[in-house]
Structure 1
């Protein structure tokens, strides 16, 4: 069975794109969320192997959500996504517990490389 992944992005087309790349490569996308609050709920409910999360979202951003998820599970594996030019946020995300980050717009092989690096 593929590794269970939770996708978090406020843009449905981004979730769809990432889901397509992951499922074609044997990963199991077990849930999706459009903001940090929903991400935390889904994380508690699904206990995924990995969370791929956008930084910039309404209601609760990815940085706050990473901190909250890491409080639920200190070993949570999270990869952050961010648009170009958000280096400060990327650094903050890593300091908050994210394992890696992907810069948008991203290539399929970069997503897969990051996922393999973090969860094998």
Structure 2
């Protein structure tokens, strides 16, 4: 069972993602509300996959991706972005994210992305 860390400053978004992931046989091992917390939780939990919001307080998702990938080059990170954040998505992919999903979340698209990134 894949272990997933959800990083998003909106509790509602974390809850929605957790619901989608749990229903599809994933284990949500942790949640974080900003990039700093996300990096700390990654170190602590070593998840198989991270879903990372782009816009967050204290440390944004792109900076957090760079931080995680610097220590764990093999990290699987999927960016979550609202519509219209295309330039940031490109930046996130360049920073080391493996894919991105657009908010509001479509469960099928979320799982398609996760399965692709995890090579299933």
User: TM-score under structure 1 normalisation?
Assistant: 0.98
Aligned-partner SS, 1:82: strand
Q: Is 1:5 aligned to residue 4 of structure 2?
A: yes
Inter-partner Cα distance in structure 1 for 2:70 and 2:61: 14
Q: Which runs of 5+ in 2 are unaligned?
A: none
1:46 aligns with: 45
Query: Could you give the per-residue CA deviations for residues 35-90 of structure 1, whole angstroms, max 9, x where no partner exists?
Result: 00000000000000000010000000000000000011001000000000011000
Q: CA deviation at 1:105?
A: 1.1
State the superposition RMSD in angstroms: 0.5
- How many pairs are equivalent? 119
Q: 4+ runs of 1 displaced by more than 3 Å?
A: none
Inter-partner Cα distance in structure 2 for 1:22 and 1:72: 26
